[in-house]
Amino acid sequence: MEQFKERLIDIFEVEEINDTDVIKQFEAWDSLTLLSIIATIDSEFGFQISASDFDKIETIADLLQFIENNKK
Amino acid sequence: MRETVLITGATSDIGKEIALKLSHTSNLILLGRYQEQLEQLKAHCANSSSHFVFQFDFNDIQTYRNTFADFLLANEIQVNKLVHCAGMMKVMHMKSVDLKNTHQIFNINVFSIIETLAILLNKRLNGNALNNVVFISAILSKFGSTGHHLYSSTKGALDALMRSLAVELAPNVRVNSVLPGAVETKMSKHLLSDPILLEKLNQQYLLGIGKPVDIANMVNFLLSDESSWITGQEFVVDGGRTINIKNS
C-alpha cells in the first residue's frame, strides 16, 4: 500500500498525500488521471475498478479502503 | 471439406461476431479467457457440435505454447485460418506506465499471436494446413492519441509483423490486418457512455460509430477466395473517421 501511495504522489504531482485529500480536487486531476489510477490499481492489486465505482470514491482514505476490500 | 478457423479473443464483441458468421461455413476453435462465455458462444454458433473451445489466459504466456500444442494433438486438429482478435486497451499518462502494465498488454495483444503462429507453422503439429491469417489491429496503429501509447504500440507491432509474415509465408499463406475505428463493444463502452465525447465522435465518424458486424464482414472477405490476390495489406474500416480532415 505504501508503494501505491508513492505512485499516487507521482500521478498527482504533489509532495505528499493525506487521507483526507479529495481526489478530484488535485490540480493534476483529469480523465486521464482517472484512467492512470485504474491501470495502476490493476497492476498493483490485480483487479479492475470500474469508472462508476470510482465515481463513488471521494477521498484518498475512501480509495485505500476500497482497494483493501477488493484486492486479490 | 470444412476448414478450421482459430479465433483468439473469441468472446470479445468483435470475435463473437466473427465466430457467429464463420460458424456456418467453418469449424471453429474458440480461444478466450473465460470458459463459461466460450461455451455459451459455442452453443450460439451454427453447427455447434463441430466447434472446439480452448480456454487460456494470455497473462500466462509462458505455458501457452505447450498447452495449446497438446490441445491440437489431443484433438487431432489442424488449423487452416487464424483470426487474432485478442486484445486489451490501457489508457494512462506515459509517466504512470509500469513494466507490469506493459507486459500485460503486450502479452495479450502481441506475444499471444507470435506464439500462436510459431505453433501453427510447425510442420509436425500443423502440417501445411495454415493458409490465411487476419489480425485485428486499430486505426491507433497509424494515428496518435493522448494516453494510448501502449495500445498504439501493440497495434503498430501487429501491422509490422503482418507485413513481414506476408512476405515470408507467400504464396501459401495470405496475411492481412483490419484497422477498426470506434466500434460499439465492451472495450469502448466506457468511452461511448460519455455524452460530450459521443457527440464529438458522431461528428468525426461520417458513417456513425461502427458495429462488430462491420469488422466481421471485412474479416470474412479477407478469409475468403474473393480476396485471393491480396496479402500484406492494412484495411482501415472506420466509417470515414481518418479521412475526415474537418473534424480530426
Domain assignment present for B240? no
Residues in B touching A7 (Cβ below 8 Å): 96
Domain assignment present for B245? no
Q: Can you list the residues of chain A whose pLDDT is less than 70?
A: none
Cβ–Cβ below 8 Å for B147 and A40:
no
A60 to chain B, any CB pair closer than 8 A? The answer is no
In CATH, what number is assigned to the domain containing residue B113? 3.40.50.720
Domain assignment present for B199? yes
The stretch B206-235 carries a mean pLDDT of 97
Coil, strand or helix at A62: helix
Q: Any idea which residue has 497509424 for its cell?
A: B142
The stretch B105-122 carries a mean pLDDT of 98
ipTM over 0.90: no
The stretch B206-222 carries a mean pLDDT of 97
Domain assignment present for B203? yes
The stretch B71-93 carries a mean pLDDT of 96
| Euclidean distance between CA atoms B4 and B25, whole angstroms | 10
Our CA-based measurement puts residue B136 at a distance from the nearest CA of chain A, in whole angstroms, of 23
Are B88 and B138 spatial neighbours (Cβ–Cβ below 8 Å)?
Answer: no
Coil, strand or helix at B174: strand
At residue B247 the predicted structure's pLDDT band, cuts being 50, 70 and 90, is low
B104 lies in which domain range? 4-235
The stretch B208-230 carries a mean pLDDT of 97
Our CA-based measurement puts residue B98 at a distance from the nearest CA of chain A, in whole angstroms, of 8
Q: Model confidence over B151-166: pLDDT tens digits?
A: 999 999 999 999 999 9
At residue B147 the predicted structure's pLDDT band, cuts being 50, 70 and 90, is very high
What CATH architecture applies to the domain A2-70?
A: Orthogonal Bundle (1.10)
Give the CA dihedral B49, B50, B55, B59, nearest 10 degrees: -150
**Three cell numbers at A69?**
476490500
Cα nearest neighbour of A11 on chain B:
B96
The total domain count for chain B is 1
Domain assignment present for B116? yes
**Three cell numbers at B242?**
481518418
Domain assignment present for B244? no
**Residue A32: which of B92, B101, B104 has the nearest Cβ?**
B92
Domain assignment present for B243? no
- Say whether pLDDT at B220 is over 80: yes
Q: Which of residues 14-53 of A touch B (CB under 8 A)?
A: 32-33, 35-36, 38-40, 42-43, 50-51
